[in-house]
Copies of this chain bind each other. A is one copy, B any other.
Amino acid sequence: MSSPTETEQCIKSLIAVFQKYAGKVRNKCNLSKTEFLTFMNIELAAFTKNQKDPGVLDCMMKKLDLNCEGQLDFQEFLNLIGDLAVACHDFFTRSQKCI
């Protein structure tokens, strides 16, 4: 079996990271609020520490928790990753002046 491509590795990593932080409290298929905060403070520490508003993580959790269950399923987690990736991509392409 050939080694995974960069895209396949990304998909594997997204699942692995989600499963690493989900399931310590209750359901293995969802990130509880506590698990979300742990994920943000470890996996996205650079982003999290840069936020001036102490309530930003609470706001993010509310915005991401589309079905208001008080936890994030994998699709809601991916929306977070997607939003961050789009923000980073926009930042890079603005500086590269996308033509």
Contact = CB atoms under 8 A, between A and B. Distances in A.
Interface of A: 5-11, 13-18, 27-29, 39, 42-46, 74-75, 78-79, 81-82, 84-86, 88-89, 92-93, 96, 98-99
B82 A75 contact: yes
Instruction: Count copies of this chain in the complex.
Output: 2
A7 B44 CA distance: 7
Where chain A touches its partner, the secondary structure class is helix
Contacts of A39: 7
B96 A74 contact: no
A91 to B, nearest CB: 10
A90 to B, nearest CB: 8
Given A5-B45, A10-B14, A27 B99 contact: yes
